[in-house]
Amino acid sequence: MIDLFSIILILISALTIIASIISVLMKDLLSCVIALAIMSLLLSLYFYMLHAPDVAIAEAGVGACITTAIFIVAIKATERYEKEEER
Amino acid sequence: MKAKTIFFIIFMAFLLYAAFEIHPFSKPTSKMDDYIISNAQNETGANNVVTSVVFDYRGYDTLGEATVLFAAVSGVLVALRRKEDKHE
Amino acid sequence: MSEEKNNGRMSIIVRTIASSVFPFIVIFSFYIIMHGHLTPGGGFQGGSVAASAIVMLIAAYGYRKVDERVKENSLACIESIGAIIFVAVAFVGLFMAASFMYNFLVGSPFFGEIPHGGNTGILNSGGILPILNIAVGLKVMAGLSAVVAVMALSAGEKK
């Protein structure tokens, strides 16, 4: 029996996986950082729905704001686009 | 390429095994949490059991976390010090 | 670039909204810290929310305004004060009561009353939990905002 709670959980986890895959595959590093922020926010929503509000507040504060700001500052100091290199 | 594929298949098999053999939710194995859940409100007077565990029962872990944060912030402040301070 | 012309700050709409939303976020973070032993949250969570408010001001007003207003030495002082309060409370537990980080204020009339049937709204309860929450909140707020401020200053000077 699949109820509404399980459907929302599966939807949120699927969106989290999609956002993290986008953050890996994009060449524009600023888009990667925005995708990471979205992933972090969805992850905090997931924690809240699993009855862990402490972890949800910490994740939303640190993961979605501080980490994004640090990454954007680092991108501003270095380069924005990822270089093509042979592997 | 072939080694990558083999590693990916093995890792996915491991993850699927771990997902199917996971412990049931909200049924912990140890008995320590029963003591904490039944006694934390009467012993500390705090309503939030998580905070009373983090700051009271497991205070050493919070001290270590504070030490780690202090070391990280000190490292960043030393590494990215301002240029005027360097000349003085 | 126009970014160099206006000192790295954003437009007036962003600045107005950031400066008008800032007190509410700070008050909410103080609520999370002060009610850390009653409702979900605590020192780390409230400190990270307050640090995110300061990071929002840094993003809206630019690094030079931050450089004028706040020095990273004062932020480091605030963080050290939080750490000193934490360790001092733990050592008071060692000297006055049984062991290191012992909750010595439980049972005392000022901080340690234990209500029956759950504590719903009494702030001065829980022994040393509110003091440690405030200490860790100061520490996390000053530390994370100092990291972002110093990185923004360094990136702005390098450009």
Q: Is residue B20 part of a domain?
A: no
Sign of the alpha-carbon torsion through A53, C24, C46, C133: negative
Given this model, what pLDDT does residue A86 score?
A: 57
Q: Is residue B40 part of a domain?
A: yes
List, as ranges, residues 127-156 from C with C-beta within 8 Å of B: 127-129, 132-133, 136, 139-140, 143-144, 146-147, 150-151, 153-154
Q: Which of C35, C37, C68 to mutate to test the interface with B (most CBs of B within 10 A)?
A: C37
The domain spans of chain A are 4-77
Give B-chain residues touching C153 at CB under 8 angstroms.
80, 82
Given this model, what pLDDT does residue A15 score?
A: 94
Residue A58: which of C44, C56, C158 has the nearest Cβ?
A: C44
Chain B residue with CA closest to C129: the answer is B55
Q: Is residue B42 part of a domain?
A: yes
Query: Which residues are CB-contacts of C115 (< 8 A; sequence separation ≥ 6)?
Result: B45, C122, C125
A73·C144 Cβ contact <8 A: no
A69·C49 Cβ contact <8 A: no
- pLDDT tens by residue, C98-127: 788 888 877 777 777 777 666 677 777 778
Q: Rounded to an integer, what distance in angstroms lies between the CA atom of residue A56 and that of residue B76?
A: 26
Q: Cα torsion for C92, C93, C96, C97, to the nearest 10°?
A: 180
B50·C40 Cβ contact <8 A: yes
Q: Rounded to an integer, what distance in angstroms lies between the CA atom of residue B53 and that of residue B23?
A: 23
Total number of domains constituting chain B: 1
Could you give the C-alpha distances from A15 to A8, A46, B28, C120, C149, in angstroms and in order?
11, 11, 29, 37, 32
Mean pLDDT of C5-13: 75
- pLDDT tens by residue, A20-39: 999 999 889 999 999 999 99
Given this model, what pLDDT does residue A87 score?
A: 54
The token pair at B85 is: 């301070």
> What type of residue is A53?
P
Q: Rounded to an integer, what distance in angstroms lies between the CA atom of residue C56 and that of residue A72?
A: 13
Mean pLDDT by 10 residues, chain B (88 residues): 93 92 77 83 82 87 91 90 57
Q: Is A79 on the interface with C (CB under 8 A)?
A: no
Q: What percent of chain C stands above pLDDT 70?
A: 91
